[in-house]
Each structure stands twice: as C-alpha cells, then as structure tokens.
Amino acid sequence: MITAVVRAFRTRMFHLRTCAAKLRPLTASQTVKTFSQNRPAAARTFGQIRSYTAPVAAEPFLSGTSSNYVEEMYYAWLENPKSVHKSWDIFFRNTNAGAPPGTAYQSPLPLSPGSLSALARAQPLVEAQPNVDKLVEDHLAVQSLIRAYQIRGHHVAQLDPLGILDADLDSSVPADIISSTDKLGFYGLDESDLDKVFHLPTTTFIGGQESALPLREIIRRLEMAYCQHIGVEFMFINDLEQCQWIRQKFETPGIMQFTNEEKRTLLARLVRSTRFEEFLQRKWSSEKRFGLEGCEVLIPALKTIIDKSSENGVDYVIMGMPHRGRLNVLANVIRKELEQIFCQFDSKLEAADEGSGDVKYHLGMYHRRINRVTDRNITLSLVANPSHLEAADPVVMGKTKAEQFYCGDTEGKKVMSILLHGDAAFAGQGIVYETFHLSDLPSYTTHGTVHVVVNNQIGFTTDPRMARSSPYPTDVARVVNAPIFHVNSDDPEAVMYVCKVAAEWRSTFHKDVVVDLVCYRRNGHNEMDEPMFTQPLMYKQIRKQKPVLQKYAELLVSQGVVNQPEYEEEISKYDKICEEAFARSKDEKILHIKHWLDSPWPGFFTLDGQPRSMSCPSTGLTEDILTHIGNVASSVPVENFTIHGGLSRILKTRGELVKNRTVDWALAEYMAFGSLLKEGIHIRLSGQDVERGTFSHRHHVLHDQNVDKRTCIPMNHLWPNQAPYTVCNSSLSEYGVLGFELGFAMASPNALVLWEAQFGDFHNTAQCIIDQFICPGQAKWVRQNGIVLLLPHGMEGMGPEHSSARPERFLQMCNDDPDVLPNLEEANFDINQLYDCNWVVVNCSTPGNFFHVLRRQILLPFRKPLIIFTPKSLLRHPEARTSFDEMLPGTHFQRVIPEDGPAAQNPEDVKRLLLCTGKVYYDLTRERKARSMVEQVAITRIEQLSPFPFDLLLQEVQKYPSAELAWCQEEHKNQGYYDYVKPRLRTTMNRAKPVWYAGRDPAAAPATGNKKTHLTELQRLLDTAFDLDAFKKFS
Ligand SMILES: Cc1ncc(C[n+]2csc(CCOP(=O)(O)OP(=O)(O)O)c2C)c(N)n1
Ligand SMILES: [Mg+2]
C-alpha cells in the first residue's frame, strides 16, 4: 500500500517536473543561439578522476531514508496542498513559513470519527512566505539538470581519441548541459546558486552516501559520470529498474576502480594485441590482414567480457565478427595456435580438404580451454563468415540458440553470443535491424547478446557524415531498448569498465547491450590501402597519435604499477612466442581447413571426417507408425480443448484419409516429422505463419477457442520420450530468420531444421544467406549443413509476385557438370552424387515423395542443404495423394517417377516423351486424357532436379526409342528448369536427339498479372506439348 502511494507521488512529481521545465519562460540568455552553441573544445579537463571527495553539509531538514519520500510529498503539496494528508499540509505550511526545526511538526490526530474536524481546526504556526516558490523552482531545476545529464551527457563526452570528430556527428552542446555558468540561466539558476545545497532525487547515485550536495558539486559529479571518456545512452529504456541499475554503475562516486593486478593484466593484453599486429606487419608487410591498429583495445575488451561472463556462469561463447582484427581475435581471444595462423600466409601451402577454402580472415574456429581469470572451462567459437558485412549476425544467433536448446539452457545462463561490428556496417546494413528484432522473440531469443562496435569512424574511404543519417552508428540498437556504452578507446580502463558492465547487464537482465569502441584506423582500409587520398586531415592527426599501448604503459609506469623493465620484459616475452611459432609454422606444408571448423559434430563422422557409410536405408515406415501419427494428426490430444469448427472439419477429413490409408501434403509432412521425432531427431520449423501454414493446410498449433493463448501442439504428443518439436511463426524477415535457422542447423547434425518462405519468391530478400552460406558453405568452410528450405512455388494465376520461387537461380548454382556424364556404374551412384553436390534441389509431385525426401535428409550419413519447391494448389488437389503402400518399409524417395500408364506398356509406340517436374504434371495428364493420347505420349517426372538423375533418365530415354523428347514447364522459358535440364539431358543421351521445349515464352516478369492471359498461356503450352507436329518445323 505504502509503495503504491509513493509510486503515485513519484509519478506526479515527474509530471510536475516535466511541466515545470516546459512551462518556464526562456530567459534572455536562452536565445535560439544557446541551442546550437558550439562545443567548447577545451571547456573541460578530462583527466580521469575516479573518486569524489568533496564534503557536503547535509540539510538538517529531510535527511535519512525517508527524505525522498518527504521531498516528493512536498512537491506534490506545492502543486496542490489538498493532495497530501492534512497533517503534512500543516507541516509544510509551517516549514515554509520559517518555523524553526522541530516546531513545524504537529502529531497527526488519530483517524477516528471526528479526527477530520480536529485536523481542520489545527492551525499553521506561521503564515506562508513568498520565497517558497523560488525554493521549489530551484529544486525542480536541479532535478531537471540531473536528468538532462543522464539523457544528453553523452553528447558532450570526449569520445574521439583523435579529438577531431564528434562521435554523434554533432558539435553543438545541448542547451541544458552546463558547459559554462551562463547556461545555468536555462534552469532559472545563476552563479550564486552554485554553492547552495540541493537535495538529490532517488533517480541519481551521484551523492554516494550523501543525500544532498551543493549545485557546483552536483554538476561536477554529473560531468564525471556522463561527460568524460564514457558516454552512456540509456534513458530511452522504459524500465525503471534497468535505468537505476545503469545509473548506479556509472554515477556512484569512485565506482570505476581497478586493482594493480587488473591494470597489469590489461597492459599484458594490450601488449599481445599490439605486438601481434606488429609481428605480422614485420613478416608480411605486403599482405592484407585488416589489422586492428587504432583499436588494439578490442582484445582486452573482449577478454573482459568473456572473463566476466565466465565468472557469471557462462561456459560457451559464440562469436561473430567481420574482417577487422579477426586474426588478432583468433590468436589472442580464441587462442588459435599461432603457427596455424602464420602458416596461412604461406601461399605454397597445399589444401588437404575438399572444397575451395576461404581467405584467412574469414575462417571460423572452435576451441575449448581454461579461462585463466576464473579457472573455469570455456568454449569459444568464432563463426566463419563471408565478406558480406553483418551477414553472420543472425547465423551466430541461431547457433547460439541451438547450443542453448541442446544443453537445456533456457535462460542463456551458460551459452551466450558476442557480435562484433564495424561502424559503417552496423549503421548501414539492414540485417542488423532484422537481427535485433529476433532478440526478444520466445523461439529466437538468445537471452542477450553483447555487441561490440569497432567504431574507427570510417568505412573503407567513406566519412561517417556521408555514411549515416543517425547521430551514432549504434542507434539501431535503441529499437530493442539496449543500453549503449560509447567509450573512448584510448582510455583502456574506461573500456574495461564498460565491458564489465555490459557483461553484468547481460547476465542480470538477459538483454542485448552495445559497447561502442570509438577509435581510429591507423592504416588504410587494409595494409595496401592509402588513406591520405581521401582522409588527409584525419590521417595527419593519426600519424601524430601515440599508440594506446605506449600511452597506457607510461601511465602505469608513472603510477608505479609497473616499471619500465617489467613492461619491456612483457613485450619481449610475447615477441619470442611469436618468433617460435613462426619457426614452427614453416614446417606446415598442408593446410587442413577442417582445423578451422566452427562447429564440430562429434561422433557423426569417422575420425578422419568421412561419412560412416555411403548408403541410405529405406525411408519407409511401418503401417502402425503411419496410422498412429495419422490419428494424432487428426485429433486433439488434450482434454477440454475447443478448436474452431472449420478446423474440426479439416481434422475429420484427415482422419478419413488415414482410414483410407492415404496422405495429402499436410499429412505427409506430419508423417515425416512425427517419425523422426520418434527416432530422437529434434525438428524445428520456422518462418512466417508456419504454425498454421500460409495456405491453412498445416495446423500444427491448435488454439483453444475459449481460452486466450491456450494452444496445443499435437506433434509433441506422439510418443513417450520423443524428441521435441519446435514450430514457430517468425518475425517478418527472410534474411534474418533464414540466417538464424542456418545457424541453428550448424549446431547439430541430429536435427531437421526447416525454414519456410511465405511464398518462394520472398527468399530473394535472404539472397545473401543463400549465396554466401548455403550454396558454398561446405566448399568454403568444410562445415556441412542440412538446412531445408521450403519454397512455395507454382503458377496459379496469382500474378508475378507469388508465382516463382526462382528455381533457375538455385539450379544455376548447382556444382554438377552439365557436359560430363558421371560414371553410372559406380556403386551407390545416387548417394555418391548427393555427397559430391553442394545442395539438393527437388520439386516433388506427390505427398509421398515429399515425405521420403524429408526423411532421407536425416537418414543420409552426411548433411547437405535441401531446397524444396513446395506446391500451393497441390495441397488440396484430389489426385495429389499417396497411399500408405508407397510409404511402407522398403520404399524410398523417387528421384524420377517414370511413366507407368499405357504408354509404358508399349514404349516402342510412344511418339513423345514429355519430361517435367512439379505440378504441371497434373495439367499434362489431364490434357493427355482429354485428348486420348495416353498411348502416344509418355510423361515422366523429374523429382530430384539436382544432383541430376542421369542414371534414371538414361533408362527412360532408352525405353522410348522412337519418341521425341520434350521438356515441359509452366515457368517462362528463361526461368524454371529448362536451361539446367536441357544440357544434362543431352549429355545423358550423348546428344542423340534434340530436347524440345513446351512452355511459356521468355519474359521479364515471372508471371502475368492477368488471370485470363495466364489460362491462355497454359492452354498454349499444353497445345504444344500434345501437338505431335509442333517441332517438325524445327527439325
Ligand atoms: C555487404 C557489404 N558491402 C560492401 C562491402 C565492402 N566493404 C568491405 S569493408 C567495408 C567498409 C566497412 O566499414 P566498417 O563497417 O566501418 O568496418 P571497418 O573496415 O572500418 O573496420 C566495405 C564497404 C562488404 N564487405 N559487405
Ligand atoms: Mg569503420
């Protein structure tokens, strides 16, 4: 009750303060000019002062813990004397009227009948005086002033080590920050108020043990907290506890203290960071390495975050970072053997692994070691990344989520991620925003990421003033209320402090936090690059800039924390380590990319990294299993759960299908998932609206129609001890979510991770993940990945936007050779082909085949990405059904479904063999039947487009010796599969026949927006497909 009352008072006071600040008329000194005053460069002295010592006389009135409460009541009373209890009204009237201490108080009368009239009779001791207004206004002004520093102090913090640019790209000083005494006028105060003592509100910690301070001291302490080498941005956070936590961390006098031991560790880490780059520069002066010079403090910063997190229970840190300083992070944070890094500079090194590898500053790493500070085990993993800046962000998140999931870390207490960013990329790349939006979603949260920005105030050659419209490069983080700690990187202790706070924030609140290391780049973009072409002034200053190691060493020597010989000894010790490793690196003749794996899969491969077999068992299931899954899929497996009437009908239809021993698309998917769950395989299906399914066919999450948010996932009620099923509607992001799922799939081979696009064409906003990770991932980084992409595809007359999942793009990126016929006699040809390919591309025409290919994905002894073009109209097509018979033990995924009708009985008489894939099959068979051409035309479906089933197609082609061969597709000629299939078909039959085309003409758009045109085009392609003279004119 009391708390509620106090809260009400506080709210009221806040309102009062804001209004007071707004309503106060501007004084003469507050002309427009004051709002854009230039920041006085030398107005402040920024020597670090870490303790606050000024003695302050406390006011006799209002002291102790109750003072804030009383103060708030007082202000409320000033606003409206009736808003407080009568006894307080009398008290305040007496106090303000000048009653001496001790006499203002009159005991409140007991609250009994009659007490109100007694109160009313109580008289003030003296009448009110007019100076009350000034007193109150001044107190309010000081509170506003404190708040102004908390909100805007960072704008004047000295963050740029070069002293050239303002980190917020704005040189003006906010009008409410006291950069000179005349600015006190903004608050209605003047110089004479500086020595007056003001009571401090509960929302500040600058007082330490004191509850009141002279104004002069208040301003000094605020400057110390907010305007030195740390700029704290946090007042946009809508959570009082979190704000108080941050205020306490930065305002408490003397809080930023380091022991001599900590200072020495920091120096040693700076030595390693600096000397590592110098060593590389000495040995390979003309090699690109994207050195860290100008931000050497990054290494101790990361180590501090890791130390602190380890102390708080974290034992696995997953990191993602761009090029800058990556080798240094590998060497000095992850502790990759130095010789392994150095040998990468040897161009004569031969690759031992399959694949094309990647440059040294993109490779990943996984390492388990003891954290020396905490003496606890810690595993560090740096995720391999492409050049595409920030693309690895969601991947790191997904991998982190998976590692948390598999070790039961539901709150992110054991596994965490750290993401590093460049300033230009952090501000410019939209994926940063998309990734932030995953950070608090139940199925995607990793319970807080620590972001570290290497803010060297330049992006390649571009000045930040040309590269972003936001004040800071970090503003994107504000969308998730992440606190942002800007820090001048030439102050290593300030950097360590904010890193420590960032790690504590993450372990306290489990939310994202940003450390913005404002630094510089000593060299060009890379070591070969001339920065003076474009940044002459900046680089003149940089040439004069003393390296941070030297500065800090001098500071510690002057403080007597180390002496010069000790410092030099530390340097030569590390140089020796580098030299010895360099000598050893010369013995390395072979490069094993597998030593650079970011996610090992223990036990999945043989010790030398090979699959345990080269075969795939049957993907069929017993009748019992099929029936059981079917029954659960068509029921509500919990009591008293009311589902929607429409859904009841859907489930009833499902039940009938099961009784008839058949499956449609949704049931086929159920069977595949449900059976894998039984086998201990975790399944995760993620994407926009996947729970119900965009086309309302799936319904994996049932919603109780009577109880809000009560849901049931029947898939999780299938078997005792089954693996968990995760199905999650995602945020509306393809790039972020696909990257996330790819990362999730990296963590374990024993999971089926699927991402479904709402419509297949939307995958193009995730193109970077497809082009840079999924397609070439194994070739570049050796790591296999079994992610499945479900891409709804098909020409249904819905216009250009929802028709094509762009099969041509995926097929163009397949690594199989169109002109070379593989050795078809090879044992396990199909599996070997799968093993060699970069990804598998399928377009199933039956639910049964969809079921088999999903199961095969896990039953294969290796992992490859699987791209599935999934249907829309076939989800409900009465012919698109599969009998249980085709899903029983012994059955397999059919790469090709050959013609099995009358044409196949007399193949010699067949005039045309139509080859197709996907749903056009149903249009073709309907048309063939209508034209009574079932004996003249054979229709064979290619279900697995890539790797291309050369072996099975050879059999098909040979089976129909007199038949013309035509590829039929509903997609336009320059799209779809034609360009992929045609050369391969010709290779299959040694170019013995032409491969004709029946389909739409080339076009720029994937489909027409006009339904009638769509139907006309369809009819035209069917006419061509069944006109046996259609190609005569060409032959
Ligand atoms: C998506 C993307 N676009 C462009 C590039 C080319 N590029 C490489 S580094 C770089 C500048 C990056 O600046 P910043 O993020 O500030 O990092 P810094 O190099 O300064 O550490 C650019 C534009 C890229 N790698 N990725
Ligand atoms: Mg930069």
| Cβ atoms < 10 Å from Cβ of 579 | 14
Residue whose Cα lies nearest atom 20 of ligand 1: it is: 459
Q: How confident is the model at residue 1020 (pLDDT cuts 50, 70, 90)?
A: very high
pLDDT tens digits along 925-969: 999 999 999 999 999 999 999 999 999 999 999 999 999 999 999
d(CA 750, CA 522): 46
> Ligand 1 centre from 468 Cα, in Å?
14
Over range 221-233, report the average pLDDT: 98
- In whole angstroms, give the CA distance from residue 279 to residue 331: 12
Structure tokens at 217: 């001291």
| Ligand 1 atom nearest 428 alpha carbon | 15
- Predicted confidence at residue 298, as pLDDT, reads 98
Nearest-CA residue for ligand 1 atom 2 is 388
What is the number of the ligand 1 atom nearest to the C-alpha of 390? 1
Percent of the chain with pLDDT over 70: 88
Q: Is the peptide bond between 947 and the residue preceding it cis, with omega within 30 degrees of 0?
A: yes
Helices (H), 463-563: 464-467, 492-509, 536-544, 548-558
- Per-residue confidence (pLDDT) for residue 757, from 0 to 100: 98
How far is the centre of ligand 1, averaged over its atoms, from the C-alpha of 527 (Å)?
15
Is the pLDDT at 732 greater than 70? The verdict is: yes
Nearest alpha-carbon partner for 506 in 282, 661, 308, 656: 308
pLDDT at residue number 29: 35
SS3 463: coil
pLDDT at position 122 over 90: no
φ/ψ of residue 203, rounded to 5 = -90, 20
Which listed ligand is nearest to 325 at the C-alpha? 1
Q: What is the pLDDT of residue 87?
A: 64
Q: What is the pTM of this model?
A: 0.88
**In whole angstroms, what is the distance from residue 840 CA to residue 865 CA?**
6
Give, using CA atoms, the residue closest to atom 17 of ligand 1: 422
Pocket-testing residue among 321, 423, 460, 523, ligand 1, by greatest number of atoms within 8 A of Cβ: 460
Looking at residue 98, what is its pLDDT? 56
pLDDT tens for each residue of 156-167: 999 999 999 899
What's the 516 CA to ligand 2 centre distance in angstroms? Answer: 11
Q: How far is the CA of 297 from the centre of ligand 2 (A)?
A: 15
Number of the ligand 1 atom closest to the C-alpha atom of 423: 16
Residue 460 CA to ligand 2 centre (angstroms): 7
What integer pLDDT is reported at residue 389 of this predicted model? 97
On the question of pLDDT at 231 being above 70, the answer is: yes
What does the block give as tokens for 356?
A: 């094309």
Tell me what the mean pLDDT of segment 1001-1025 comes to: 96
Confidence class for position 120, pLDDT limits 50, 70, 90? very low
Ligand lying closest to the C-alpha of residue 390: 1
DSSP assignments along 714-748, one per residue: GGGGSSTTPPPEEEEE--S-HHHHHHHHHHHHHH-
Band (869; pLDDT cuts 50, 70, 90): very high
> Going by CA atoms, what residue is nearest to atom 22 of ligand 1?
460
* Structural tokens at position 747: 């963590």
The kind and range of the H/E element at 2 are helix 2-23
pLDDT tens-digit profile of 510-524? 999 999 999 999 998
Ligand showing the shortest atom-to-Cα distance for residue 428: 1
Of ligand 1's atoms, which has the minimum distance to the CA of residue 325? 21
Residue 137 has pLDDT above 80, yes or no: yes
Q: Please state the atom number of ligand 1 nearest to the C-alpha of residue 388.
A: 26
* Residue 325, amino acid: G
586 pLDDT tier (thresholds 50, 70, 90): confident
Q: Which atom of ligand 1 is nearest to the CA of 768?
A: 1
pLDDT of residue 52: 27
**What is residue 565's predicted lDDT score, i.e. its pLDDT?**
98
Cα of 781 from ligand 1 centre, angstroms: 21
Residue range 827-834: mean pLDDT, rounded: 96
Residue 109 tokens read as 């009368």
Q: For residue 538, report the distance from its CA to the centre of ligand 1, in Å.
A: 19
Closest CA to 142 of 81, 197, 60: 197
pLDDT in tens, 477-487: 999 999 999 99
Residue 555 CB coordination number (10 Å): 17
List CB contacts of 543: < 8 A, sequence separation 6 or more.
none
Full DSSP string of 993-1033: S-EEEEEEPP-SSSS-S-HHHHHHHHHHHHHHHH-TTTTGG
What is the pLDDT averaged over residues 219-236? 98
Contact 748, 828 (CB under 8 A): no
What atom in ligand 1 is closest to the CA of residue 473? 16
Nearest CA to ligand 1 atom 13: 459
Residue 170 Cα to ligand 2 middle (Å): 18
Percent of the chain with pLDDT over 90: 78
- What pLDDT sits at residue 103? 52
Query: Is the Cβ–Cβ distance between 642 and 704 less than 8 Å?
Result: yes
Of the candidate ranges 58-67, 859-868, 895-904, the one whose mean pLDDT is the lowest: 58-67
- Interval between CA 816 and ligand 2 midpoint (Å): 39
Span of 97-111, 637-651, 999-1013 with lowest mean pLDDT: 97-111
Which residue from 292, 328, 389 has its CB within 8 A of the most atoms of ligand 1, so it is best to mutate?
389
Distance 512 CA to ligand 2 centre (A): 21
DSSP letter at 695? Answer: T
Task: Measure the CA–CA gap between 250 and 353, rounded to whole angstroms.
Answer: 51
**Nearest ligand, measured from the Cα of 324:** 1
Q: Is 369 exposed, middle or buried (0-12, 13-18, 19+ CB in 10 A)?
A: exposed
Q: How far is the CA of 444 from the centre of ligand 2 (A)?
A: 29
Does 133 or 760 have the greater pLDDT score? Answer: 760
Question: Which tens digits make up the pLDDT trace of 11-69?
Answer: 333 333 333 333 232 233 333 333 334 443 333 322 333 332 233 333 333 333 344 55
- Ligand lying nearest the CA atom of residue 385: 1
- Is the confidence at residue 596, as pLDDT, over 90? no
342 CA to middle of ligand 1, Å?
24
Q: Is the pLDDT of residue 331 over 70?
A: yes
pLDDT at 323: 93
Give the position, in ligand 1's atom list, of the atom nearest the Cα of 389. 26
Q: Which atom of ligand 1 is nearest to the CA of 521?
A: 20
> For tokens 């031969």, what's the residue?
350
Q: Which residues line ligand 1 (CB under 6 A)?
A: 324, 387-389, 422-425, 454, 456, 458-460, 521, 525
- 78 Cα to the center of ligand 1, angstroms: 57
Which residue minimizes the CA distance to atom 15 of ligand 1?
A: 422
Ligand that lies nearest to the alpha carbon of residue 326, given by its number in the listed order? 1
Beta bridge partners of 996: 966
Instruction: Say which ligand is closest to the CA of 424.
Output: 1
Reference 413, options 513, 313, 305, 506; nearest CA is: 313
Indicate the average pLDDT of the chain.
Answer: 89
Ligand 1 atom with least separation from CA of 456 = 20
